[in-house]
Chain A
Amino acid sequence: MQDDRPVVGVIDYRTGNSQSVVHALNFLGVPNRLLTSPKELIGVDRIVLPGVGSAGTAMAYLSAAGWPEELRGRVVDGDTPFLGICVGLQILFEYSEEQNTDCLGWLPGSVQAFDGLNVRVPQMGWNQVRRTSGHPFLAGLPEAGHFYFYFVNSFYAVPAETGDTAATTEYGVAFTSAVARGNIMATQFHAEKSGPLGLDLLSRFATTPQEELCLP
């Protein structure tokens, strides 16, 4: 039987929780594979970049494995749907205060730290996400209501172009909790650990027809 469903590749960080994303995709019945090197991208239709740890460690790992060039070719120059999670959102921007890291620079803007005088850091727990753009990725979420996702972060992205922000969340400050531009999508929260609501979002990324999912 022919299987036309998109195959999701999950980039495997040694320091990350890639396995948690794989568990979630398996639970959803989404064809997927762990990718330890860009060579394994053949046959992969969509890419997830999980992220745990720090921006500096993540960039060092990705660069050593040759990911930045390969991903740029497929995602920025090409049209492969891409989902970054947590640090996988932060490193899409130009620069992170965390370990003074130069990042991928696909989206203009930078990443800064929460103010520890104001809130406990890291932010750890379930927080509310409010949709702020019409991008189809988050279209399943109403604009208001009690929709909680699981966050663990000490840093947050500040997009230079406000249109890139797809959702915001309050933690001492209103910060960007999801971004979306065309085929590039990312969440600061861990969709793979956010219960049924998070699974819905992963499923949406993995299974929505590309022309429907990746509208600008």
Chain B
Amino acid sequence: MSAMTAPAGLTTRLIACFDIVDGRVTKARRFADNIDVGDAAEVAASVYADGIDEIIFYDILASAQRRQADLATIRKVAEIVFVPLTVGGGIRSVEEMHAVLAAGAEKISLDSMAVRNPSIITQGSDEFGRQCIVQSMQVKRVPATAAIPSGYEVFIDGARQATGLDAIDWARRGEELGAGEICVNSIDQDGTHEGYDLEITRAIADAVNVPVIASGGAGSPEHAAAAFTEAGASAAIVSSLLYSPRMERTLPVGEIKTELAKRHGLPVRLT
């Protein structure tokens, strides 16, 4: 699906991605050094009022602590925020997916657990439909080799563990297994405010026919615009830009969208 930069009819989507610790939103840099942003329900209500298109929750400690995702926080947000919610972190079974959806989420994000047990993508997709399963991957530039021809390797467990998987191969495999959307998180760019890794985002958007989310590195509306126009992404995660304490100046969602529409001619939903 190359050269498809403007998905027929759809607006570009801006997604807030919350790294949740103890019911609070935190912000990392290169998957480490998380600093506190605020109460999850309060941050969610604020970005919802500003017109965010979706919210993703990563329960970043659930996987390492081998426990289930923080359902109480999901429920609290789902009671007051009416855009799609995606939940990831530590989800290992269809039963756990049921619990997350029952709390009010629409989509399940599978990352490290899917690498350990790829059949969980198919199990989730069979039970809830492809649209429910987001394959999320942490990718990092490495020297290209026979095993990793793209020069991008998949990492797991908060970017700590290399897998030997080629990012493009893993994306294709995920789509075959039943993923309905693929989120490409750049470890190198995460929290840097220097822009997305457009190269790997473009390569994956070209390799699959499901929507692709660009993640990691947005520091300006121009970066988000490039994810859509240059990398073929259907959606872009803009966490730092919205609320990182490390940013000199954060922007409300509406302002980013206005920039996307006025300066770049991109379709957006304004509330």
Contacts and interface: CB of A to CB of B under 8 A. Distances in A.
Interface of A: 14-17, 19-20, 23-24, 26-27, 52-54, 57, 116, 118-128, 146, 148, 150-154, 169-172, 190, 192-196, 198-199
B53 A119 contact: no
Nearest to B48: A195
Contact of A199 (B51, B82, B180): B82
A154 B181 CA distance: 12
B72 interface: no
B262 to A, nearest CB: 14
Interface of A is mostly: mixed
Contacts of A121: 209-210
Interface in B74-131: 78-80, 82-84, 98, 101-106, 127-131
Interface stretch (B1-9, B56-64, B157-165): B1-9
A121 B175 CA distance: 11
B128 A15 contact: yes
Contact of B10 (A146, A154, A171, A190): A171
Contacts, number: 125
Nearest to B4: A120
A126 B132 contact: no
For chain B, the bracket of interface size reads 35 or more
B11 interface: yes
A122 B210 contact: yes
B53 A126 contact: yes
B10 A126 contact: yes
B271 A196 contact: yes
Contacts of A172: 8-9
Nearest to B235: A125
A20 B106 contact: yes
B171 to A, nearest CB: 13
Given A17-B101, A17-B106, A52-B128, A150 B79 contact: no
Nearest to A53: B129
Contacts of B105: 17
B180 A127 contact: no
B269 interface: yes
B254 interface: no
Interface string B123-145: 00001111110000000000000
Contacts of A116: 209
Nearest to A119: B8
A54 B180 CA distance: 13
B234 interface: yes
A107 B32 CA distance: 54
Contact of A120 (B13, B82, B209, B270): B209
A170 B6 CA distance: 13
Given A122-B131, A148-B11, A193-B83, 18 more contacts: A15-B127, A16-B101, A19-B78, A19-B104, A23-B82, A52-B131, A118-B8, A121-B209, A123-B10, A127-B9, A146-B270, A150-B84, A152-B84, A154-B131, A171-B8, A193-B82, A194-B82, A196-B271
